[in-house]
Amino acid sequence: MNRFLFATAVLAVPAAHAAAASLAYEPFDYTAAQRVLGQSNSNTGTSWLLAAASGAAGDTTAINVATGSLTGPSGLPAPIGNSATINGVGNLSGAANRLAFDSAGTSVTSGSVYYSFDLRIDSLEGSNNAGGGFFIGLNNTGNAATTTNPSAVAARVLARIDPNDPNPTSPTTYNLGIARNRATTAADIPWSGPLNLGDTLFIVASVEIVDGLQNDVSRLWIDPTGDSAPATLTDATTGTGTDIGLASIILRQSPAPFLTLDELRIGTEWADVAPVPEPTGIALGGIVAAGLLARRRRA
């Protein structure tokens, strides 16, 4: 093999990710102690809009800017700005805020959409050990405010108190779940094993838009080790729900644990939202050495 062609082939591997389409980056670089609602995202050219009014009488919107950042995995840029906190109980029609991918309301209707964020569950107050509630997901409404509870949310990430926590009166573990855009029950949601209160996790979720009706696939990775790692959880159910175009992301105050969320990224490729493993020094050295050895044998 020509050594110049070999070098080009090696270098072309990471370059293939450069064409990925980033849809949004949200570091929550806003003044702390303000609502996320109304904040203007310089990356998308849109602002966080109302996606649902608070549902319970006397219940206040509790999706706010928090002081400080969460630190994600190596391979991503260092966090900037502050973070977002959701620390209100809400109810089944809890308040929600929407960020559109762009001001034109562009909708993704084929391929896949990925999103990632750093997550810390701060308190199990406000949740339950059954169906919990979803706190983030992809929506089909673009750059528009609405006041009714969003009914179309794909790749929704749910959280609940771990029903098998050894101390039910003062639990310290929780589960994460993932669901397609469909009606769910606690029993049919794919749930993770126990996760520890206070740990910071790196979360990746995705929607794979599959040809046909009611067959899109939602996936969730918890602290993934690479883009080839199998999903931690998958909802590949069929025959229920609705396939939707994806135009925005929603943060929702619901019966989920109180949490802090940061460094939200959305894109059409894994490389838009998560580190892409490159060859290690040992692996790359082995490849180069093999190439040199082959050259010597031909000499």
Distance CA 72, CA 57 (A): 37
| pLDDT exceeds cutoff 50 at 2 | no
Asked whether residue 139 is assigned to any structural domain, the reply reads yes
| pLDDT exceeds cutoff 50 at 297 | no
Asked whether residue 70 is assigned to any structural domain, the reply reads yes
Question: Which structural domain, as residue segments, surrounds residue 158?
Answer: 21-268
Q: Which two tokens stand for residue 101?
A: 């991918």
| pLDDT exceeds cutoff 90 at 293 | no
What pLDDT does residue 107 have?
A: 96
**Do 13 and 25 reside in the same domain of the chain?**
no
How many domains are there within the chain?
Answer: 2
Distance CA 128, CA 115 (A): 26
What pLDDT does residue 290 have?
A: 41
**Do 196 and 163 reside in the same domain of the chain?**
yes
Asked whether residue 52 is assigned to any structural domain, the reply reads yes
**Do 296 and 229 reside in the same domain of the chain?**
no
| pLDDT exceeds cutoff 80 at 273 | yes
Asked whether residue 273 is assigned to any structural domain, the reply reads no
What pLDDT does residue 102 have?
A: 97
Asked whether residue 4 is assigned to any structural domain, the reply reads yes
288 vs 277, which has greater pLDDT?
277
**Do 158 and 282 reside in the same domain of the chain?**
no
**Do 11 and 90 reside in the same domain of the chain?**
no
What pLDDT does residue 219 have?
A: 98
**Do 78 and 206 reside in the same domain of the chain?**
yes
Q: What is the DSSP letter of 28?
A: -
Asked whether residue 65 is assigned to any structural domain, the reply reads yes
pLDDT tens figures, 64-109: 999 999 999 999 999 999 999 999 865 444 589 999 999 999 999 9
**Do 193 and 287 reside in the same domain of the chain?**
no
**Do 207 and 194 reside in the same domain of the chain?**
yes
Task: Judge contact between 120 and 70, C-beta under 8 A.
Answer: yes
**Do 60 and 164 reside in the same domain of the chain?**
yes
Distance CA 295, CA 89 (A): 66
Q: What's the rounded mean pLDDT across residues 203-214? A: 97
Q: What is the largest CA-CA distance in the chain?
A: 82
Q: What is the pTM of this model?
A: 0.85
- The CATH number linked to 162 is 2.60.120
| pLDDT exceeds cutoff 90 at 217 | yes
Asked whether residue 136 is assigned to any structural domain, the reply reads yes
Q: Where is 63: in which H helix or E strand?
A: strand 63-66
**Do 28 and 8 reside in the same domain of the chain?**
no
Distance CA 110, CA 232 (A): 23
**Do 61 and 74 reside in the same domain of the chain?**
yes
What pLDDT does residue 228 have?
A: 80
Distance CA 126, CA 128 (A): 7
What pLDDT does residue 21 have?
A: 85
**Do 241 and 287 reside in the same domain of the chain?**
no
Asked whether residue 86 is assigned to any structural domain, the reply reads yes
